Structure 1
Amino acid sequence: MQTRHFIQLIAMSALWGASFPLLRIASPALGPWVVALTRCTLAAIVLSLLMSTLRGRWPPRSAWPHLTWVGLLSVVIPFVLFNWAALIIPSGYSAVLNATAPLFGVMAAALAGEEKLTRVRLLGCVVGFAGVALLVQLGPVAVTPMVILAALACVVASASYGFGAIQMKRATMAHSPLPSSAVVHITGALILLVPGGIAAPAAVLTPGAVAAVLVLGTLTSGFMYWISMRLMREIPASATTSAAFMIPLFGVTWGGLFLGEPVTASMLPGCILVLSATALITGFNPFRSAPPEP
């Protein structure tokens, strides 16, 4: 991996980790559906402007149904579920639960016949879900039915990310990353248009919420999504999953620093189990020597 790739991974992790505290600011004021719609729309605008500036070519019409499916799995479902969870649980919880996405990615690859689901990976699945349960049980928030539902929403959102990753990988190999990213967010915004429009009258425009959703749409969804799709073409899959390991660190840190969310030692065992499970399933080893680049 080249230095620029590593820097991009750090930047992606920092910004994606920041998205969880930003959701805690935006969702209570604007509502989950409006935040998702606005985020997708802003990302689509940013990516379309980049397309125009760089003179990119739109994918053929025949590719749009598949890219719409990518958008549903990788954008619409996760956005709405994480937005709703942000109404209930701290951003650090959501960030750690998001680290289960690679677990589902490997399971999806096994179901698609692209990878084998070995005993080590099965063990990783068990450890991962145990970590999720431990995090919810020992964290600073009292366990209630709504907290459990919010945690489950994050897990389902992460599963959607994981299953969508396979489709996204196929899209990046068939089409250029920038046009693919633009279409994914355009179709995602169209899917969210009706529910977002229905929920819009209840939204309360506050300076903090507006600023948060602007950052979410332009940076974490627009620019960074394009960067992530470019990275998928340039570095191994095991390297791209390392971003998921760093997101919880940034998510918990940003939530503690800027929102004053409690960060307790009791959260550590759950975090360790989730990250260990992700490493088991993906085969990622930070201490393994990388082969020399050609």
Structure 2
Amino acid sequence: MDPVISPPRTRPSRARLAAVAAAAVSVVLWASAFVSIRSAGTAYSPGALALGRLLAGSLVLGCLLLVRREGLPPRAAWPGVAVSGLLWFGVYMVALNWGERKVDAGTAAMVVNIGPVLIALLGARFLGEATPPRLVAGMAVSFAGAVAVGLSLSGEGRASVLGVGLCLLAAAGYAAGVVAQKPALRHASALQVTGFGCLTGTVACLPFAGVLVEEAGRAPVSATLNMVYLGVFPTALAFTTWAYALARTPAGRLGATTYAVPALVVLMSWPVLGEVPGALTLAGGALCLAGVAVSRSRPRTRAA
């Protein structure tokens, strides 16, 4: 039998390295968002903070659209843009801001990271994607982790349990928004879908405009700068670099990089906010991540 000769290894192309770097930027910025929300949330209420963040993000994304001369998305893309804007940029951000007033940043990141599993379930229902048994098992493990996180905080009162519930609501809004956004990307560019989705979320949060103006007048400069940072970097820049990486990387492989967000949040919130989740909270978060990992794993196949 002839020996099997493996192909020579080639160096990663510049495009691949650029995609890896872009994904890393997105993950780090999204992790920093949990810390900044916790910090800015001391001066801004959830709705006002969401509106201020979205205004900053819409301004940056609007400038990018003008520079790239990309107009309105096609009519076929607007349903997905509108739904993702309302759920991902609207419901998600308000619920997350509110939840982080009740729980620490690391716990919020762990609970919200159930989102990828919910995306798989919604994708199976509305996009016709497969639902293997490992997906169901992963959902069960992640749900057990969320329950453990809630129990670990129940001693602090009902508000902590409410915080976990709000983070779960944020995860659901994020997942539904992603599934709604996927069909829109068939008709419009990633920048168009992101930019006008952010604008839709801004319009949805306009009822908080009066509160934002009132709170901005008495908020410290550090809190306002955190709010602007959330809009410019974790919203506008991070979503843009993520779209760049997604265009050059399989979605499943790229999605796995977000599992590093909770660990990064814990590392960032320790020196910045002095917050370290308890042992049971960490165990519940580990179950959440383990469930997501199980749902994304594939069964081994025998080699011929």
Is this a same-fold pair by TM over 0.5? yes
The residue type equivalent to 1:205 in the other structure is A
Matched, 1:153 2:166: yes
The residue type equivalent to 2:297 in the other structure is G
Match of 1:268 among 282, 293, 301: 282
Structure 1 range deviating more: 224-233 or 186-195:
224-233
Residue 107 (structure 2) aligns with: 93
Name the % identity: 24
Residue 17 (structure 1) aligns with: 31
- Counterparts of 1:109-124 in structure 2 under 5 Å? 109-124=123-138
Residue 233 (structure 1) aligns with: 247
The residue type equivalent to 1:69 in the other structure is V
| Whole-angstrom CA distance in 1 between matches of 2:126 and 2:74 | 25
Alignment partner of 1:30: what SS? coil
**TM-score w.r.t. length of structure 1:** 0.89
Residue 250 (structure 1) aligns with: 264
Matched, 1:131 2:131: no
| Whole-angstrom CA distance in 1 between matches of 2:282 and 2:275 | 15
Q: Deviations over 1:67-121 (max 9, x none)?
A: 1111112110110001001111100111111210001101101111422223221
Over the aligned positions, Cα root-mean-square deviation in angstroms equals 2.3
Can you give the 5+ residue segments of structure 1 that lack an aligned partner in the other structure?
Answer: 286-294
- Return the offset for 1:4: 2.0
| Whole-angstrom CA distance in 2 between matches of 1:87 and 1:268 | 19
- Counterparts of 1:4-83 in structure 2 under 5 Å? 4-60=18-74, 63-83=77-97
The residue type equivalent to 1:224 in the other structure is A
Match of 2:293 among 274, 279, 289: 279
Residue 184 (structure 2) aligns with: 171
Can you give the 5+ residue segments of structure 2 that lack an aligned partner in the other structure?
Answer: 1-11, 300-304
| Whole-angstrom CA distance in 2 between matches of 1:49 and 1:103 | 34
Residue 290 (structure 1) aligns with: none
| Whole-angstrom CA distance in 2 between matches of 1:134 and 1:183 | 38
Number of aligned residues? 286
The residue type equivalent to 1:40 in the other structure is L
Alignment partner of 2:29: what SS? helix
- Return the offset for 1:48: 0.9
- Return the offset for 1:216: 0.2
**TM-score w.r.t. length of structure 2:** 0.87
